[in-house]
Amino acid sequence: MALRHVTLDDKYDLDKSPVFVTGFQALVRLCLMQKERDRRAGLNTAGYISGYRGSPLGTLDAQFQRAEKWLAKNDIKFQAGINEDMAATAIWGTQQAELRGEGKYDGVFSMWYGKGPGVDRTGDVFRHANFAGSSKHGGVLALMGDDHTAESSTTAHQSEYHFIDVMIPILSPAGVQEFLDYGLYGWAMSRYNRRLGRTQMHARNGGVDRSYRRPP
């Protein structure tokens, strides 16, 4: 039997399965998957990712930067934020891009990322963006990377209570496969409920390596 040709780019090629990815790489693939789902549904959407580089999500931005060629040809923009609340404010703006018919795309699906202290400082933006809601063909995921044992933070944190307070539903994936599954569910939920706008995921397992097999 001939060996299958394998490259490092396979993880972002949606025609390849199975693939081996880290948790952070799975989040990049997730954005490509959402774009492809929209394309098959006849939607011309774009993606926008922003957040603040900080452990335990400290290398997520590096993965998005390395995947620039894949993102660019799929209308997905990564922009590192100066801080967490400015990044969240930009994400909020993506959901208003086509309110007056001025948008270039049918919608913009977006992803915010940060760790516990970033969730704390972004409370006002989360609350008001959530009240404003998401766009019909947009949707937002907010990824929090909690440092439960304060390994690289001044304090330990558990951010679920904050998201409950601002009425953002919570999804808690248990591994890399569920990053992809729950991520797609989260964007779908955000589009469906409109008023709630954002969906939050745990990202505490971002560095775990796993294989992913595309559903038939």
pLDDT digits (tens, 9 = 90+) for 114-138: 888 888 899 999 999 999 889 999 9
Say if residues 66 and 102 touch (Cβ distance below 8 Å).
no
Residue 56 has pLDDT above 90, yes or no: no
| pLDDT at 206 (0 to 100) | 47
d(CA 24, CA 60): 5
Count CA atoms within 13 Å of residue 136 on its CB side.
Answer: 8
Question: What mean pLDDT do residues 157-174 have?
Answer: 88
Tell me the whole-structure pTM to 2 decimals: 0.90
pLDDT of residue 196: 53
| Angle, alpha carbons 76-80-85 (nearest 5°) | 110
**Residue 17's pLDDT is what?**
84
Supply the DSSP symbol for 145: E
